[in-house]
Each structure stands twice: as structure tokens, then as C-alpha cells.
Chain A
Amino acid sequence: MKTVIIGGGKGCRSLIDLTTGTLLSELTIDVVAVMDIDVNAPGMVYAREHDIDTITDLHTALAIEGLQLVIELTGDNSVLEELYKLLPPGVRLIDHEFTHLFWDLINAQDQLAEQLREKEELQRKLWLERRFLYDVFDTLEDLVIVLDRDKRVTRANASFIRFVNAPSYNAVLGKTCVDLLAQTELSCDDPVATECDLEKIFQTGVEQTLVRHTPPPHESHWEIIRQPLRSREGEITGILATWHKITDQILLKREVESAVQRFKSLVDAAHDMISIKDLEGRYILVNPITAETFHMKPDDFLGKTASELLPPETAQVVEMDDRKVLRSGEHMTFAETYVIDGMDKHFNTVRFPLRDYKGEISGICSIARDLSKEHELQQQLVQTTKLAALGNLAAGVAHEINNPLTGILAYAEDLLEDPPDDPDDFQEDMSVIIRETKRCRDIVRNLLDFSRQDKPRFEEISPNRVVDQVIPLVEKLPQFRDIQIEKHPAHAPPLVRCDPRQLQQVMLNFMTNAAEAMNGKGKILLRTRYSRRRNECIISVEDNGPGIPENLVDKIFDPFFSTKGTNGLGLAVSWGIIERHGGTVEVDMSDNGGAIFNIMLPALDNSRTSPQTVGS
């Protein structure tokens, strides 16, 4: 409808918008011109911007060719009256009163536009949310589909589509899962698949879970879950089916199980007694041989402590050694004696802490090997060796003692048969007899020392103290006149059980040897140390002499072995003494080539806090 607007106010502008908008569908208003006497009225300016003619003269406006409608917006009744006069026939007029209708329409349009905008915003949000959910759905490694009432696929995630090797999402829609899976390793031909009863889910609404395995070599394991989907009204509308791959868990579980089995067969078949205890000393595991040894069943041990189960002496050993291991936190080896059936049995036992995943000690494991037979054999061997040593000893004694006896016999016979006139000669010969007799006495005495079964008189004493006491003994001896004696005591070493006098005798012996090796000039270092690993106190006598030739190291402890014309019993006696102390003697070489004799004695427990007895 070819229209001209009279009056270029603000209303004119809104009206132009209204007519160019979509709001008026039935009435088509085609504004061809705007008339106002003011060229700069807002409506006039707006019209020009929209390529609509502007007219300042009413007559010209009404003379527009084919004009069908005039809309009067001036609100001026005189203008209206004039319009009525001039309006050509057939041209309709909407006056400013009626134009209120347009303003209502415009308001309505604005409201609608606002609603529309809100709706669009909501839709955008929904779309994003949906997109997000789809992304999540697709990134799931699990295969997920949704089936409708006819058991056809209505949704599928990317994993499923990939798994069934479908070309696209659409390609799986409307198909049954049986068809889709037919060519895959999860084909429903498998007997387990028969447990899958979708119809039952629709009927009962109860979720189904089953596990599928596919055979090696491409072994895989799946947990399959089918859950009913319900409408808001609670009606079952479909099924959500998920295939969750549990191959790794299964393989891991299998590994764990076989490890457990291996461990169990190993432990059960072992000839050694193996047990594991918790930190309170309660048994968690014992192998059959352990139980058998004590005439029990493995289960009898569980949850109980050694002192509740074993003979008191044995339990004491076990608990004491376990404590040591827990204190040290390290592997330790013990020579243990258990009383079994009233007999002493000798075990070599390894004890070590067990640690949890955090590395904290959670228990203690012990492996005890019965060395009773070996022990017995060893005892026999020791006995045999002793007998052999005795034989050597006898030969040695004969050899050693026959020389002085030769002298005694010769001198005595001579004095008897042919007494010298000179009393000095007489005295001289007699003194030879006495000297050689004393030599015999010393040999015999040392021999007794060597073979004596005397038990040492034990005291519990710091090794530092033994060292302290030995120094005054040697300081005054002439052969130590030019020997510098230094000591390097350990700080608060544990106590040792020893006969201090015997230990001093041994040290004295080593020191005398050292002094002789150094030709009476040099330095002797007395050192005490504590070896935590071996739980031993070590007293060393180190010299800066020439050391011991390598080919003689094995022989120096043999009775009667000597390189210096003495009876050669000193080191053998020393060896015997230390052995009776449960210790050992080792020979070593110092950095400067001198000899080191290490006396190693078992340390007493809980004695590290002993008062320091050594000055500088």
C-alpha cells in the first residue's frame, strides 16, 4: 500500500521501522515519502537515510501517483481537517489517534524480540552443553551405545563406532548390537553372550553385568554393563550398554595370583624355616617346615608371637635377633641355637625387615637354615684338626725341647764326670743348665697355655679400657723403649665379654712381635672400632714395620712356627685365647706396609651407651 507519512517526528521514525520489519504481515505499508515543513525533523532525516522521499509541501505529498494511504502523525487537528479537505478520493487516511495502534504493535515487537533473544541464548547454551556431553561420550574409552525399545542403536560413542569398524555415526544408527558386533571379537556367538538378555531388562528394569573373555593370542577381557534408561514417567525407554575393557586389571590380577602362588610353593617347598612377622612380632606367615619343626600346623602360628609358641630359650633368641634387625633396619645374619625336642639345634638365620610401598618397615622376615649336621661335622673337624695339631704339637715339642735337653744333659754329665777346678767355670756351666732348663719350662708353660681348657674369667668391659690397661704394661719393657705407642679409641664402643688379662696377653704378644719386627724402633697404633654390620668390636695392633711376607701369612698362627728363633707358640696361643672368647683374629697390611693384627670380639647388646673410659 503506497503510503505517505505526514509529520516527521520521532513517531515517524518508529513507524518506518515497523513497516520495514516483519511484524506487519497482513498489512503491507510501503512508505514512499515523508512530509514535514521542517526538513531537519528526525523522521525526515531518517527517511532520507532509508532512501525515502521527503516532501515539505502537503499538496505535493497528496499528489503522489498511485497513493493509497496517508498516515497523519502531526497530532494537529487543523492539519487533519485540511487533510480531509484535500484527500483525493480512494486514498485512506489513518490519523494520529489511530496511530496509537502502531505504537502498541511496536512495543509488542520489542518484547517479542527480547524473548526471542533470550530463547536463542538458551538454545546456544543448551547446544554447548550437548556438545560437551557428546565430546565426553566420544572420548570415553568404554564402548557405549543406547538401544531403543526395539534394541536398535540410537546413540553410539566414537569408541563403539571405531570398535565395530563402522564408517560413520549414521552407519550404526538403527542397527542391532548383535549385528554390529558380529565381526568383532565380542561377537555374540560366544556362549557367554547368551547370558545377555535385553528383553529381561525391559521387563524387570534390573541392570545386567557380565564379563566376557576373548582367548589368546589377542587376549582381552571386558566388563559389560546394561542399564535401563527411563523416561521422566519411569517407563523404560531404552538401554544404555557399556563395554569396559578390564584386560589390564585381569592380567595384573593374574600376575599377582601367580606371584602369590609362586611365593607360596617356594616357601612351602623350602627346607629352610621361613616366617614373616608383623612389627609386634606376631606371625603372619610360616612355612610347613617351620610348623613341623615345632610339631604344630602353620595356622597355629598366625597372630601369635614367638614367646607364646616356642620354648622360652628359643623364643628369646628369635625375639632378641628380630629386635636387632628392626633397630638396624638392615639384613642381618645370625648363628642361632634353638632348643628343639630338648636338643640344641644350630641355625644360620637371615633376618631382614620387610617394607611397604612407602618404604616403611612393616614386618620382619626370617629364613633359618638348620646347620646342625654341618655344625656336628665342623665340631668333628675341629676335633680332628685338634688331634692333628696335637700330633704336630708333639713333634714340635720334641724338636723344641730336645735342644735345651741336649745342653742340660751335656753340661750336667760333664760337671759330674769332670768337675772343673775353677769355681767360675762351674758357675758358668751351672748357669747354662739353669738357663736351658728355664727354656724347657717356658716351652711347656706356653704349650699348656695353648692347650689349656681353662675357661677365661669373663668380664663385661669396654675394649677401650683393655687398651688403656695394656699400655702401662709395655711402657716399662726395654724392647719398647724406642717404640712410640699411640691409641685411637672408638667413641663409646659397645662392651665386650672377655677376660681382660688374657686379652692383654694377646695384645702384648702382638705388640712384642711388632716391636721385634721393627727392630725395636717405630710406632705401634692401638685402635678400637665397632663394626655395626658384624656387630663386633675390633681391637687392632698396627705397626709400621716391614709387614708379614705373603707366603707366611697362613702359617703364622701354627704352633711352633717362628722366624725368629723363639718357640713359635705366641700367635698360636693368642689364636686359642681369642677363639675361646668367641672371636677371631685377622691379619692385614697397613697402608704403609706394616702388619695389622685385628682382634674381633662379639659386641654385647645395648651397651653402646657405656661410659667413655678412655682419656686421650
Chain B
Amino acid sequence: MSDTLNVLVVDDEQIVLDSIRKHLRKEPYEVLTALSAGTALDILQHNQIDIVLTDLMMPEMDGLELMAVVKKQYPDSPVIMVTGYATINTALQAMQLGAFDYIAKPFTRAELRGVVQRAADLRRSGATSNNGSGNGIEEGFKNVGEHVWIMIEDNGNALIGTEHHFISMIGKIQTVYLPEVGDELRQGGVFFQAFTSDMSSHNILSPLSGEVVEVNQLVLNDPTGALLDPYGEGWLIRLKPSNLDEERKVLGL
């Protein structure tokens, strides 16, 4: 495997392809583009593709269908789902079907770079996406996708944290963003943002709606240290869920 990774970008709009190409032009990636899933499959057949970024909603064959083919035929190539509008449903669906990660349009260069960077790291490490199997997750923890876990406490509050896997992928964290106590979170909204030393940003969507009742100050003060133990002292927030029953169904818990 050469140093330069081949990234295949699939979207039915040229401007999106051009944008991603522009964002990644200084990165060590060879960007290939396809305006449809059909063309993408053609390119996959004739080229060594390391990472696939595909739009979710496309005419004829959509992103999920394309991903299914990629997962089957090229299991070592992580697929990043690009969505026009992110809700936890579509994101989760993509993740559960085996997407490495997802990114919502419009995205900044840092956000895109973060996601692609993690996929590149995974690709270089030679590991396959673990598809949310929850390595090392302890009793009571439920993982949602690959990035986040929740634990429902006896009083009905939910403790939310991030996955070890995610932390190890994003690299050195410089600063993190977390909501404040009293903030109202919406399921599918960004609640955790990590900025890494390469100026990439990594977002995590909230698995539940509700009021933030506690924020882990330890993570805010020393993210790198605290997040060494993401299931222990590295928890992120404690939430008072507002619509737990409905939202658990959405999450498939």
C-alpha cells in the first residue's frame, strides 16, 4: 500500500464533488469522483480504492445500496456516509449498516478532514471497521453506532460517553466542546466536538433528547487524560431524557 490513499467520492452533484476535492487537495489523498453509484462501482472495479465517501440520497442506486456492495466486495475500504440533512435515524441506519462514519452537509474543511483522517488511520492500520461491536464495553453500557454509549441510571437519567475506538481514531485532542448544564439537547444534534492537533474537528450527535443535568468537568479540563478511560472517568454528560421510550425505539435499544 502506497502512502497516498485513493479516496472515491460519490455524489450526484458536481459541486459537491468539486468541494470535497478542494477540501482534500492539500492532503495526501488521490481523489476520484463519480456522479452516480453505477460509475462508482465501475471505478472500484478498476482502481484500488482505500476510502469511499458517498452521498446518501442519490437517484437510482442510493448510498446505502452502494455501501452494501462495497462492504461485501471491498470489506477493507471504510465507507463514510455524506448526508444532506442529518438526523440520528439516517446516521444510525448508515452506521448500523456498516458505515465507518458519517458527515453532514455542509461541512467545513476541518470536519471533513477529521472524518477522512480517521478512516485513513483505520485503513493504514489494516483493521476493519468493527461495526459497533462494542469492544470492552461493560455491563449496562449500550453503544449507539461506533462513537457513543449510553447508560440509563436507576433514576431515569442517562449517562452518555464516547467509545474508546473513536478516541483512538481521532488522535491528539486539543480542545473539546461540551454543552452546559441546563442546555436542551435534541436527538441527532451535535453535543460533543473534539478539535484535534491537525485542526480537524470530530462531532458526535446526541443519541437522546433531554436536559443536560451534569457535564464532566474533567473532560473539559483535561480531555486527553480523562478520555483515556472513556467508560469510567471519561464520561461526557448526564442527561435527563425527555422522550426516552420513543427515542430508545429509534435507537433500536
> Do A and B actually bind?
yes
A403 to B106, CA, bound (A): 7
How far apart sit A282 and B90, CA to CA, in the bound complex (Å)? 67
Q: Which of A402, A418, A436 has the most CB of B within 10 A?
A: A402
Mark the stretch among A196-204, A301-309, A333-341, A404-412 that contacts chain B: A404-412
Contact between chains at A407 and B23 (CB < 8 Å): no
- Asked if A399 contacts B106 (CB within 8 A), the reply is no
Q: Given A409-B107, A413-B23, A417-B109, are A403 and B85 neighbors across the interface (CB < 8 Å)?
A: no
User: What chain B residues lie within 8 Å of A403 (beta carbons)?
Assistant: 13, 15-16, 84, 105
Task: Give complex CA distance A436, B25 in Å.
Answer: 20
Cβ < 8 Å to A, chain B residues 191-220? none
**Cβ of B244 < 8 Å from any Cβ of A?**
no
Q: Are A406 and B107 in contact (CB under 8 A)?
A: yes
Residue A395 at the B interface, CB < 8 A?
yes
B29 CB, nearest partner CB in chain A, Å: 15
Is A280 located at the chain interface by the 8 A CB criterion? Answer: no
A contact residues around B22 at 8 Å (CB): 410-411, 414
User: Would A407 and B19 count as touching, CB distance under 8 A?
Assistant: yes
Query: For the complex, what is the distance from the CA of A357 to the CA of B121, rounded to whole Å?
Result: 96
Count of chain B residues near A, Cβ 8 A? 19
CA separation between A395 and B16, bound complex, in Å? 18
Chain A residues near B85 (CB, 8 Å)?
A: 395, 398-399, 402
Please, which residues of chain B bring their CB within 8 A of the CB of A409? 19, 106-108
Contact A406 B26 (CB under 8 A): no
Count A-B pairs with CB separation below 8 Å: 54
Assess whether B18 is interfacial by the CB under 8 Å rule: yes
Within 8 A of B (CB), among A379-400: 395, 398-399
- Chain A: which residue is nearest B56 at the CB level? A399
Say whether B20 faces chain A, with CB atoms less than 8 Å apart.
Answer: yes
Cα separation A454 to B91 with both chains bound (whole Å):
38
A326 within 8 A of B: no
Give the complex CA separation of A413 and B15 in angstroms.
Answer: 15
Chain B stretch 1-45: residues in CB contact (< 8 A) with chain A: 13, 15-16, 18-20, 22-23, 25-26
A472 to chain B, nearest CB (A): 35
Complexed CA–CA distance, A395 and B26 (Å):
33
Q: Is B57 an interface residue (CB 8 A)?
A: yes
- Which residues of chain A have C-beta atoms less than 8 A from B106's C-beta? 402, 405-406, 408-409
> CB within 8 A of B105: which of A402, A411, A413, A418?
A402
Docked pose: A432 CA to B106 CA in angstroms:
16
Across the interface, name the chain A residue whose C-beta is closest to B14: A407
Chain A residues with Cβ below 8 Å from B13 are 403
Q: State in angstroms the CA–CA spacing of A409 and B23 once bound together.
A: 10
Q: Given that A398-B84, A399-B85, A403-B13 are contacting pairs, would A432 and B109 also be in contact in the complex, using a CB cutoff of 8 Å?
A: no
Q: Can you list 7 pairs linking A and B with CB atoms under 8 Å apart?
A: A398-B84, A402-B84, A407-B19, A410-B22, A410-B23, A414-B23, A418-B26
Q: Which 8 A-B pairs have the closest CB atoms?
A: A410-B19, A398-B85, A405-B106, A402-B105, A407-B15, A399-B84, A406-B106, A406-B105
Residues of A within 8 A of B (CB): 395, 398-399, 402-411, 413-414, 417-418, 432, 436
| Extra 20 A-B pairs, beta carbons < 8 Å, given A407-B15, A411-B19 | A402-B105, A402-B106, A403-B15, A403-B16, A403-B105, A405-B105, A406-B105, A406-B106, A407-B16, A407-B18, A408-B106, A410-B19, A410-B22, A410-B23, A410-B109, A411-B22, A413-B23, A414-B23, A432-B15, A432-B18
